Structure 1
Amino acid sequence: MRARFSSVVSFAFLLVACGSGGDGTLSGGDPNNPHRVDGGDVFADGGRTGFEECAALADAPRCVIGGRCPIGLACVGGACVPTCGTSASALSAALGDGVAVTNGFCTAGGVRAGNLACVAGHERLSIFSATLEGGSFNVRRLSDALGAHTETVFDPIPTRTTETVFMGGYVEPNPSGTKVAFGYTRQSDFGGEVLVLDVEGRAVTRVESMGNYDVAWVDDTRLLVNALSAGTPSGSQGLYAVDLGGAQPTFAKVVSDLGDASGAVNMLEGESALLVGAYGAAFPGDGNLVFRFDLGLLGGGTPVAAFANGNVPRASAPSDFEVLGDRLVALDWNTGEFVGRELTTSASAVDVGAPSAFAKVPVGDVAPLPGGRGLLFHAGGALLIKRK
């Protein structure tokens, strides 16, 4: 989902053929399993129904009296973790009251995000990172399973343009971690691409997308893009569905009337719903809103008009955010600190509470994981966290 905060810049197709509901809508999302969509498990390890049958990723050892830790580790938030060149005291001071550290990892830099999958009965954490250098993306994956760390470096992936481009602020793995999406836009006209890398086969699928800002996976093959277009060189502000399950990608605009600028897209864990951010000069307050959409209401042939349709639940809140469990986390651009807000949603309402401290410098990015867990990224690595 994503780590957009470090970024400097900020279905016409047959939905029935792409695993939709019989009425042409998007469907899925077993409430007992956030990784199960349309009655089929996205895990590729023999039909597990979620993490309840999966041995949890091991926690780091706890600090002993006086904050002492084994050699090579430092005490951060009560856990002995590698700090990867970042000050342990600064990291500890950066944590909000409700944040508990359970582990830590050293990673490559760039835009980063994580993925948890159940593999052979054990949780596997993968951290993907991407940088854009010399017109090509450099993508890496660090995986941790049973305490063993492996790193995969993928071949450089060119942007196919000689113009100046901005890398998108998102790197988004699908639920099983078999694909990862990232993107760029051109400085001249905001045209660009969403690129999807097949982790095992190394093949890259390219989706033309103007102004692509954020993406979210519905399942392992269906992607939602907050952008000006998807599958065409230009369009208008909205949410676009991309189906990668066939021989060729198919596209459709599923939400319109999303104001003047894109925001975040987050699937809501355990629900067949998503939260979409947008900014509009005509929106109330400071112009930033978050909208909640049930998947079953999208893709019926006519895009849902977000702002004009009074039946779409919404709330005034930062339009660039991550959802970690029951908290909406966003960067306060004035202070440079991340704040968390209690989040409650239903088919009829979105309620966002008052802000409270979540994390601050040297934490530079936040990314969600299943079960209310998340990653806090700093210059040299990541802290695996949960709510206290």
Structure 2
Amino acid sequence: MDRARLGGGCWLFAALVIATGCGDDDGGTPSSDAGTDARVGQVDAQIEVDAYVAPDAYVEPDAYVAPPCDPGCGEGEACLRGVCVATCGGDVAAMDAALAEGLVPVANVCRAVSGPIEVVVPTGGAMPRVYEVTAATVDTTTTFTLSRWTLDPSVSAPTPETVATTTHAGHAASAIYAGGYLALSPDEARAIFGYTTSDEGFVGGVFDVAVGGGSASETRADGNFDGVWLDDAHYVVNGLGMAGAATSGQGLYVRDVETPSAWRALDEMGAYSGGVTLVGDVVIAGAAMAFGSNWPDERGGGRIFVLPREVLEDAETVSSAWDASLAQLEAPSAFTRVFGTKLAATTYMDAPPYDIASIEVRALAETGETWTLSAPVPLTTGSTFRRVVPAGTDRALLVHAGGLLIVEE
């Protein structure tokens, strides 16, 4: 709510000067037609100034009060900022307190998710589709399941359908880590997701699943952290290596699923992988230096690289990320793109229990040939919400223990 000050006070000053007269250059007084000398003297008049009026005392604005839900909410629902949402077994008041001012709730979907999800928003007004990956390990075999369900705000408990299953053998549950990303190709025909292990070099792999037929193939991709499709036939992974590439090390790797072939497109990207996304004709990728090491500008930490797409499409050349980028922006290397061109990153408490402190967003913008990131703004505070997932350009899903809260800006 905007703040307002109520104040008053005025000063009134007026001067009335009445001057009428005639005179010649030598100071004499000419005669009127009637032969009578006349002189009108100047008379000054001043209106007395009003007494000082002190301004009114500052009035503290009323605290923001969310509008009530009218009509009232039904069983299993609660009012959240004027919208009746399913509670999903959670504390809706805590959700309200965690949300940034200006976020508008749409619905709460009671589908608890543990793995990565991706929302596909079809053209033509059809309901969005949510793809989800779950992983379960028995002995040394991990089964990955790709499922799909419709994101309907009027349905609080969706029913998923299985799209495909695939497995990895050879690692116990304590030694394999399901990846945090899931990416659908633009034509929605293929999906990629990955895993890493505790083996030296963070040995891992990326699964390429045919959404229509359910078949899956695996490509070794060590340290794969995030992935995105460049088009229907090429995907890029931010990681440490990929089978088929001539060199390895932290960078961006591209795979052609039709050839099939792979190449390392970018190197000199620090020591640790980060996020990667496509915005129009540029690729946004994150990376971080090892502790105590610096980038060429003598500064360490995380960086966001803004890269021309054509640099990644060149299968013959491994380019320096620093030299080939349009910009290198200081920001957390792990991010998720939401609300069009905002980059969301999670912050953590700097003392035990090191829980989530907030989810912050930075606005990415291009002015002329200059790319900038805005200062971080909290999207959520506290640990009620664990992560954010884009759902088109104007909506996002906030993941909480009991499900997914759909919000708009």
**TM-score bucket (shorter structure):** 0.7 to 0.9
Higher relative contact order (CA 8 A, sep 6+): 1
Partner SS state of residue 100, structure 2:
coil
Does structure 2 conserve the Cα–Cα contact (< 8 Å) formed by 1:73 and 1:81? yes
Does structure 2 conserve the Cα–Cα contact (< 8 Å) formed by 1:63 and 1:80? no
Does structure 2 conserve the Cα–Cα contact (< 8 Å) formed by 1:227 and 1:240? yes
Q: Give the aligned residue type for 1:141.
A: R
For 1:106-161, what per-residue CA distance to the aligned partner results, in whole angstroms no more than 9, with x for missing partners?
22421232322326752323242423433222333222369574411356421132
Q: Give the aligned residue type for 2:313.
A: G
For structure 1, which runs of at least 5 residues remain unmatched after alignment? Answer: 1-61
Return the alpha-carbon distance in structure 1 between the equivalents of residues 126 and 154 of structure 2. Answer: 11
Return the alpha-carbon distance in structure 1 between the equivalents of residues 208 and 228 of structure 2. Answer: 12
- Using the TM superposition, give the Cα deviation of residue 77 of structure 1 relative to its aligned residue in structure 2, in angstroms: 3.9
User: Which of the residues 392, 395, 401 maps onto 1:370?
Assistant: 392
User: Which of the residues 340, 344, 348 maps onto 1:333?
Assistant: 348
1:211 and 1:146, CA in 2 relative to 1: closer, same or farther beyond 3 A? closer
For structure 2, which runs of at least 5 residues remain unmatched after alignment? Answer: 1-65, 350-355
Name the counterpart of 1:4. none
Mapping of residues 33-182 of structure 1, within 5 Å: 64-65=68-69, 68-118=72-122, 121-134=125-138, 135-144=142-151, 149-154=158-163, 156-162=165-171, 164-182=175-193
For 1:47-91, what per-residue CA distance to the aligned partner results, in whole angstroms no more than 9, with x for missing partners?
xxxxxxxxxxxxxxx985479323333223433222322211111
Q: What is the TM-score of this pair, normalised by structure 2?
A: 0.71
Q: Give the aligned residue type for 1:157.
A: T
When the two structures are aligned, how many residues end up with a matched partner? 321
For 1:317-363, what per-residue CA distance to the aligned partner results, in whole angstroms no more than 9, with x for missing partners?
11011121232211112353111222213684331121221113211
1:121 and 1:363, CA in 2 relative to 1: closer, same or farther beyond 3 A? closer
Name the counterpart of 2:251. 238
1:84 and 1:197, CA in 2 relative to 1: closer, same or farther beyond 3 A? farther
Name the counterpart of 2:376. 355
Name the counterpart of 2:311. 297
1:145 and 1:357, CA in 2 relative to 1: closer, same or farther beyond 3 A? closer
Name the counterpart of 2:366. 345
Moved more, 98-107 or 271-280: 98-107
Does structure 1 conserve the Cα–Cα contact (< 8 Å) formed by 2:305 and 2:325? no
Partner SS state of residue 171, structure 2:
coil
Does structure 2 conserve the Cα–Cα contact (< 8 Å) formed by 1:222 and 1:243? yes
Return the alpha-carbon distance in structure 1 between the equivalents of residues 310 and 366 of structure 2. Answer: 16
- Using the TM superposition, give the Cα deviation of residue 315 of structure 1 relative to its aligned residue in structure 2, in angstroms: 0.6
- Using the TM superposition, give the Cα deviation of residue 273 of structure 1 relative to its aligned residue in structure 2, in angstroms: 1.3
Does structure 1 conserve the Cα–Cα contact (< 8 Å) formed by 2:185 and 2:232? yes
Name the counterpart of 1:14. none
Who wins on radius of gyration, i.e. which is larger? 2
Instruction: Calculate percent identity across the aligned residue pairs.
Output: 25
Does structure 2 conserve the Cα–Cα contact (< 8 Å) formed by 1:114 and 1:375? no
For 1:293-321, what per-residue CA distance to the aligned partner results, in whole angstroms no more than 9, with x for missing partners?
121233222122112x1753111011011
Return the alpha-carbon distance in structure 1 between the equivalents of residues 308 and 72 of structure 2. Answer: 48
Does structure 1 conserve the Cα–Cα contact (< 8 Å) formed by 2:88 and 2:108? no
Return the alpha-carbon distance in structure 2 between the equivalents of residues 176 and 82 of structure 1. Answer: 33
Deviant stretches of 4+, over 6 Å: none
* 1:319 is the counterpart of 2:330: no
1:167 and 1:98, CA in 2 relative to 1: closer, same or farther beyond 3 A? same
Does structure 2 conserve the Cα–Cα contact (< 8 Å) formed by 1:170 and 1:215? yes
Partner SS state of residue 91, structure 1:
helix
Q: Give the aligned residue type for 1:102.
A: V
